[in-house]
A and B are shown apart, each in its own frame.
Chain A
Amino acid sequence: DGGITQSPKYLFRKEGQNVTLSCEQNLNHDAMYWYRQDPGQGLRLIYYSQIVNDFQKGDIAEGYSVSREKKESFPLTVTSAQKNPTAFYLCASTLLDTGNYGYTFGSGTRLTVV
């Protein structure tokens, strides 16, 4: 079945470490997105990519980095520069053809700094 796979589901990080969250889709979607969700809050956009080897910053990109070397993959690295990385991270993807903006979401990664 087509969909988005995020891994791991739970991730623990020590302060000062970089960690990478995986996001893979087999939907042949053009665009991919990373969102962050804090308890009791909405989703905020971190980074997004519409084509391979290109990506743009969202609203809260500081302390994060991404790459888009393949259409299917959009990993997110949480660097040590991110002051408060504990959150729930959701990856999404969509086709970019006109009139069809159905976004598919992964099941999320819960990151905790210990």
Chain B
Amino acid sequence: AQKVTQAQTEISVVEKEDVTLDCVYETRDTTYYLFWYKQPPSGELVFLIRRNSFDEQNEISGRYSWNFQKSTSSFNFTITASQVVDSAVYFCALSEEGGSRLTFGEGTQLTVNP
């Protein structure tokens, strides 16, 4: 069975600080997909990134970066120079090959204070 663990329940930082959100996953499949979503107070899920298990190249997109390491089954997410608008709940999720479901972690509530 697949499982996603986000050990950090809440993180609070001051604006302009860098912050890393941790994600550890478990799966028996060799082909799988990892996702990060952002959920602002309004409730909708905003897609941030998808990676497949064959692509361990780390990615940077503006102030966001992702560190995917199969050896440690981790897919961590870093926000550089955080802003108040980054305040939200962030979810890491996993989908297996041919999978019919997206399994979510418990989420990390990020609060960026001015």
B25 at the interface (CB under 8 A from A): no
Complex interface residues of chain B between 4 and 41 (CB less than 8 A to chain A) = 9, 33, 35, 37
Q: How far is the CB of A112 from chain B (nearest CB, A)?
A: 14
Contact flag A92-B102 (CB < 8 Å), given A101-B50, A101-B95, A103-B35: yes
Contact A48 B100 (CB under 8 A): yes
A31 at the interface (CB under 8 A from B): yes
Contact flag A105-B33 (CB < 8 Å), given A42-B105, A42-B107: no
Contact A42 B102 (CB under 8 A): no
Contact A99 B52 (CB under 8 A): yes
A33 at the interface (CB under 8 A from B): yes
Say whether chain B's binding surface is mostly helix, strand, loop, or mixed: loop
Among A40, A48, A102, A108, point to the contact of B101 (Cβ < 8 A). A48
Instruction: Pick the most buried of B44, B101, B109: most chain A CB atoms within 10 A of its CB.
Output: B101
Residues of A within 8 Å of B37, CB to CB, are 105
B114 at the interface (CB under 8 A from A): no
A18 at the interface (CB under 8 A from B): no
Contact A33 B107 (CB under 8 A): no
A45 at the interface (CB under 8 A from B): yes
Say whether chain A's binding surface is mostly helix, strand, loop, or mixed: strand
A82 at the interface (CB under 8 A from B): no
Of chain A, the residue at the smallest CB distance from B97 is A98
Beyond contacts A42-B104, A50-B100, A101-B33: 20 other A-B pairs, Cβ-Cβ < 8 A, are A31-B100, A35-B104, A41-B106, A42-B106, A44-B104, A45-B103, A48-B101, A56-B100, A90-B43, A90-B45, A98-B98, A101-B50, A103-B35, A103-B95, A103-B102, A105-B37, A105-B47, A106-B44, A107-B42, A107-B43
Binding site for A on B (CB under 8 A): 9, 33, 35, 37, 42-45, 47, 50, 52, 91, 95, 98-107, 109
Supply 8 A–B pairs (Cβ within 8 Å), ascending by A: A31-B100, A35-B104, A41-B107, A42-B107, A50-B100, A99-B52, A105-B44, A107-B43
